[in-house]
Amino acid sequence: MAKNLSLVLSITLLLLVIQPIRGHSFKSLQHLVGSHKGQTVKGLHEIKHYLSAFGYLKLNRSTGLSNDHASVKDEFDEHLELAIKSFQKNFHLNVTGRLDSSTLDVMMTPRCGVSDIDDNMSPNYALFPGKPKWGKKFLTYTINSGVTREVLDKLSFALQTGFEEWHKHTQFTFARGRPTSTSDIGIGIMHIDGPRKVLADSVAPTSGKMRFDADENWSINDKPNVDQIDMVSVATHEIGHIIGLGHSTHPDAVMYPYLNGGVIRRKLSQDDIDGVFALYGKP
């Protein structure tokens, strides 16, 4: 009973985090190409919500979003410019502070729902604030939610493949089973925000909660179509969060937050391995 309650609480918390970007089609941002400081452009508040959801912009009085006045919300001020610059720096884009098309292209790419955390990170792995980690090397996991047999089979395969990849490079052993303690991993499938946009999210150690968006067109094939998202890549990424890694700015890293349709990123890069060694030491 207590376990169910904690799951419900953590899911509610995640929903609150995701709330600001729900219901928005990222495609609708296209008309903002070229926006820059000093302008007021309808829809800029969506960029503010987006940058806030992923850790680049603090929403308060001075950033305008608490003000009901629509023109203030859509004002391109210096806070927004700074946030865009750190976003651009993170993803190795030209640091212009403008909403150029390459910046908006990245923003419209499907991604993980976890915040990018540290906007000053060097171009590699990141750890969560306070560097939370597990005090044990044997983790059991359970799949909580009931969806179709087909989706559950895909998820089981994706998780198993992802756990094996991390196991190769760490001392962690992952086993599917019934929960035996409050620190076991609980994995759910639910509707997060519809197709694309946010694909999945997880909570830092030692919570162990992970969610997948039931509305995605998931694939576990070695060669997914462009309209499909590779569930194995996403599972491997989310397991990285579960054991304590944040987002990497290295595009080859499993812990890079964006994943386009048809793309596979299943193997740990040296950057991912450096990150997990930094947290747990070499095996």
Query: Is 200 strand, coil or helix?
Result: strand
Which segment (72-80, 93-101, 162-170, 256-264) binds Zn ion by CB under 5 A? 256-264
For the annotated binding site for Zn(2+), the residues are: 112, 237, 241, 247, 255
Instruction: Name the closest residue to Zn ion (Cβ).
Output: 112
Window contacting Zn ion (CB under 5 A); options: 14-22, 35-43, 84-92, 252-260: 252-260
Q: Which residue's entry shows tokens 């076991």?
A: 184
What is the closest distance, in whole angstroms, from the C-beta atom of residue 272 to Zn ion in the complex?
12
Instruction: Give the whole-angstrom CA distance, residue 238 versus residue 230.
Output: 13
For residues 251 and 89, give the distance between their C-alpha atoms in angstroms, rounded to a whole number: 13
What are the binding residues for Ca(2+)?
184, 193-194, 213, 216
* 83-122 binders of Zn ion (CB under 5 A): 112, 114
Active site residues: 238
Binding residues: 112, 184, 193-194, 213, 216, 237, 241, 247, 255
Minimum distance, C-beta of residue 237 to Zn ion, in the bound complex (Å):
5
Residue 211 main-chain phi, psi, to 5 deg: -130, 145
Task: Name the pairing type of β-strands 209-213 and 200-202.
Answer: antiparallel
Cβ proximity to Zn ion, 14 vs 112, nearer residue: 112
Spatial distance between the Cα atoms of 272 and 265, rounded to a whole number of angstroms:
12
Q: Is 177 buried (19+), middle (13-18) or exposed (0-12) by CB count in 10 A?
A: exposed
Q: One symbol per residue from 14 to 53: x for binding Zn ion (CB under 5 A), - otherwise; what is it?
A: ----------------------------------------
For position 189 contacting Zn ion by CB under 5 A, the verdict is no
179: which 2 tokens? 């929960």
**At its nearest, how many Å lie between Zn ion and the CB of residue 147?**
22
- Starting from the edge strand earliest in sequence, which strands make up the sheet with 185-190, in order? 173-176, 138-143, 185-190, 209-213, 200-202
Rounded least distance, CB 7 to Zn ion, Å: 20
Residue closer to Zn ion (CB basis): 98 or 197: 197
Distance from C-alpha of 59 to C-alpha of 65, rounded to nearest angstrom: 6
Number of residues lying near Zn ion (CB under 5 A): 3
Cis check: omega of the bond before 206, within 30 degrees of 0: yes
Q: Under the rule (CB under 5 A), what is the footprint of Zn ion?
A: 112, 114, 257
